[in-house]
Amino acid sequence: MSKEILLRSAEMLNQPSKEAKEEFSQKMNLLIETMNKTMLNRSDIKCLVGEDNINMMEDNHANHARFMESIFENYIPEILVDTVLWVFRAYRSRNFTSTYWAAQINTWIKIYSKELTEKTYEEIHPYYKWMQVNIPIFNKLAEEDIDAPLSSH
């Protein structure tokens, strides 16, 4: 699958409503805090992110939430695709494994299902399902551009 196919699939996502974006924004700090606590409680966390990358992981979660807030405010498919590819490349070069992304997305989904209203969850879940389903493609495209140390995970 190519970047163009990813882009076409991203174009099928609908921008969340103003109300959904506002709820996400209002709860963002709680969502980030819950995400960090949940991920830090995983027994395999150092295997997923590397020995000295816990702070980087926590920064990633905060940056992710802020980025998604901006996407929910003004959705541009090209920015979503390009940013996710950049993130995969940048974090893989710092020894984050590809399985980290699946763990991260699955955890966000679980947290959102508990912390957001059903309506907001239904509006933002497609973005996370799209990212989740396309993890292998993002990994493949990221590996084509860099020689990441953990590129076979």
The amino acid at 10: A
Stretch among 14-23, 52-61, 108-117, 141-150 having the lowest mean pLDDT: 141-150
**Domain-wise residue ranges, the chain:** 3-10+18-37+54-145
* Cα 60 from Cα 1, distance rounded (Å): 26
Closest Cα partner for 101 from 141, 60, 148? 60
In this prediction, residue 148 has a pLDDT band, given cuts at 50, 70 and 90, of: very low
* Cα 135 from Cα 139, distance rounded (Å): 6
Average predicted confidence (pLDDT) for the chain: 92
Q: Is the pTM higher than 0.75?
A: yes
Q: Which two tokens stand for residue 91?
A: 């974090």
| Residue 39 confidence (pLDDT) | 97
Q: Could you tell me if 30 and 114 are in contact, meaning their C-beta atoms sit under 8 angstroms apart?
A: no
* Cα 25 from Cα 116, distance rounded (Å): 11
38-95 pLDDT, tens digit each:
999 999 999 999 889 999 999 999 999 999 999 999 999 999 999 999 999 988 888 8
In the predicted structure, residue 11 carries a pLDDT above the cut 50: yes
What secondary structure, in 3-state letters, does 34-84 show?
Answer: HHHHHHHCCCCHHHHHCCCCHHHHHHHHHHHHHHHHHHHHCCCHHHHHHHH
